[in-house]
Structure 1
Amino acid sequence: MAETMKFADPRLAELDGFTVTVDAVRQRADITLDRAPYNVVSMDQRDQLRLVFEALDADERVRVIVVTGAGAHFSSGGNIRGFLEATPEHVAHLAWNIAAPARCSKPVIAANRGYCFGVGFELSLACDFRIASETTLYALPEQKLGQIPGSGGSARLQKMVGVTRTKHIVMRSKRITGQQAYDWGIATEVVPDAELESTVDALVEELIAFSPIAQRTAKKLLNDTDDANLSIAIDLEGHCYSRLRTSDDFREGVNAFHEKRAPKFIGS
């Protein structure tokens, strides 16, 4: 049974435009953007999202985090007027806050449907997996405001799809469908809208069956070597592999394989 998360940090006493629930039995937490009808993300909400990811990262009950939007849309983007009101110091932290899913050591899944624009797209890009409904439209429309993406969107997108496709999305403020995002390697999967939740549920179950320490290691290694040259990436992979060879989970995995049974990983 999922329960509303209670936070010790007074800055999270009242969440701005989203909810957080934890299901300890299923080892998952759900962050739901919930400001009807388009789940617009406020400036303060960005700060709170970072704090929530940090709290969930430290919560031993949680193995996987899911980010979703209430209703027909993930998020139409940020509170546009808020950019004019924010101080330069506040704006300087935008990318750091929205990168919280990438820094989190646990797997993070974005469940996307409907509008996934601006910071909604950037938040999704910082997650490990993006499951897109066939209704999903992705966009970075900041050029229409005389701006550019400010929370890592263009940088992350260029790493994924290259400069030509990123210019198409950023410089022309083009919307792309969930199917196109899948074809380009942005979305992990694209599914019928009615199957979005069940697909995410299945992915959560798949991920929690693996070793927590191996999952954390794989995520950090892949993130850290994303912009490394091949020889450095291979070297770091070898160090991580060598360290995991001494783990309890690796020993359990090997024994379970030879005994033809499901492994029981403990995360050490």
Structure 2
Amino acid sequence: MTDQPDPRLARLDGFRVEIDADRARADIVLARPPMNTISMPQRDQLRHAFEALDEDGRVRVIVLRADGEHFSSGGYIRGFLEASPEHVSKLAWNIAAPARCSKPVIAANRGYTFGVGFEISLACDFRIVSETCQYALPEQKLGQIPGSGGSARLQKIVGITRTKDIVMRSRRISARQALDWGIATECVPDDGLEAAVDALVDELRAFAPLAQRTAKRLLNETEDALLTTAIELEGHCYSRLRQSDDFREGVEAFHEKRKPNFTGS
């Protein structure tokens, strides 16, 4: 990684990127309070930000969070009418950037997490929510449906019955219900959200990078696979990791009763 700033992280529309190299952490922070609406150009830039951070050797874990009491009320509504069909066709690809990213991605959700704000959170690996969080896909109220993968990802998590209830009724889901339904990874008091995210970042960066990247890709790519196919692919990945330096280090550290020093190779 050169010392030159990545041009993909310049002139960001409605968000900023913070990198803490000492903690191997990068934060993508929605910064258009009070509602942190997400514009059409911003969606392209968010994709570019995830791609840039995925290539940044200083970063092990990415956190998606927001300024203020609301994560995001969703997209800039008039922008849907102003956007070209070509631009609109890229919406789901852009918002899927956290899922394509090889590194662990944590969404920190509080307050309104609606529309595209919910959809990009669903594309993350972990969703830590404060008790103030409300999830919703309100597009039916506009005569539309979710267009960035929200209904599809949600159905994988909660099933068709609950997804119809959320999508077709534009129903809001509380933080506690999101946890009960498996949408949220963890639910914490509002004043404990940052501490919970910090703890998860530290936990994740203590693991072997190669094994984490492998686990994420394997789980994502076998979500729709037959059980026999998923087991076979898991075996191939397991076999490859047995040859890694990190696996040898992990085994030796276990037997020597010390903390492993993983290098990502």
After TM superposition, the score normalised by the length of structure 2 is 0.98
Give the match for residue 131 of structure 1.
Answer: 128
Give the match for residue 238 of structure 1.
Answer: 235
1:112-127 equivalence runs, <5 A:
112-127=109-124
Q: Percentage identity across aligned positions?
A: 75
Secondary structure of the residue aligned to 2:22 is coil
Secondary structure of the residue aligned to 1:25 is helix
Give the match for residue 83 of structure 1.
Answer: 80
Q: Does 1:101 align with 2:98?
A: yes
Secondary structure of the residue aligned to 1:22 is strand
1:199-218 equivalence runs, <5 A:
199-218=196-215
Give the match for residue 14 of structure 2.
Answer: 17
After TM superposition, the score normalised by the length of structure 1 is 0.97
Query: Counterparts of 1:45 and 1:208 in 2: how far apart (Å)?
Result: 28
TM-superposed CA distance for 1:12, in Å, is 4.0
Query: Counterparts of 2:74 and 2:205 in 1: how far apart (Å)?
Result: 31
Secondary structure of the residue aligned to 2:210 is helix
Structure 1: 4+ residue segments shifted above 4 A: none
Q: Are the aligned partners of 2:249 and 2:262 in contact in 1 as well (CA < 8 Å)? A: yes
1:1-268 equivalence runs, <5 A:
7-9=5-7, 12-268=9-265
Query: Counterparts of 2:205 and 2:6 in 1: how far apart (Å)?
Result: 26
Q: Give ranges in structure 2 of 5+ residues lacking alignment.
A: none
Q: Are the aligned partners of 2:6 and 2:52 in contact in 1 as well (CA < 8 Å)? A: no
Query: Counterparts of 2:138 and 2:153 in 1: how far apart (Å)?
Result: 16
Query: Counterparts of 1:177 and 1:202 in 2: how far apart (Å)?
Result: 23
Query: Counterparts of 1:38 and 1:83 in 2: how far apart (Å)?
Result: 18
Q: Are the aligned partners of 2:9 and 2:17 in contact in 1 as well (CA < 8 Å)? A: no
Query: Counterparts of 1:85 and 1:248 in 2: how far apart (Å)?
Result: 52
Query: Counterparts of 2:60 and 2:10 in 1: how far apart (Å)?
Result: 23
TM-superposed CA distance for 1:36, in Å, is 1.3
TM-superposed CA distance for 1:8, in Å, is 2.9
Query: Counterparts of 1:242 and 1:90 in 2: how far apart (Å)?
Result: 42
Secondary structure of the residue aligned to 1:67 is strand
Aligned-residue Cα RMSD (Å) equals 1.0
Query: Counterparts of 2:66 and 2:10 in 1: how far apart (Å)?
Result: 21
In the comparison of the two structures, how many residue pairs are matched?
263
Secondary structure of the residue aligned to 1:156 is helix
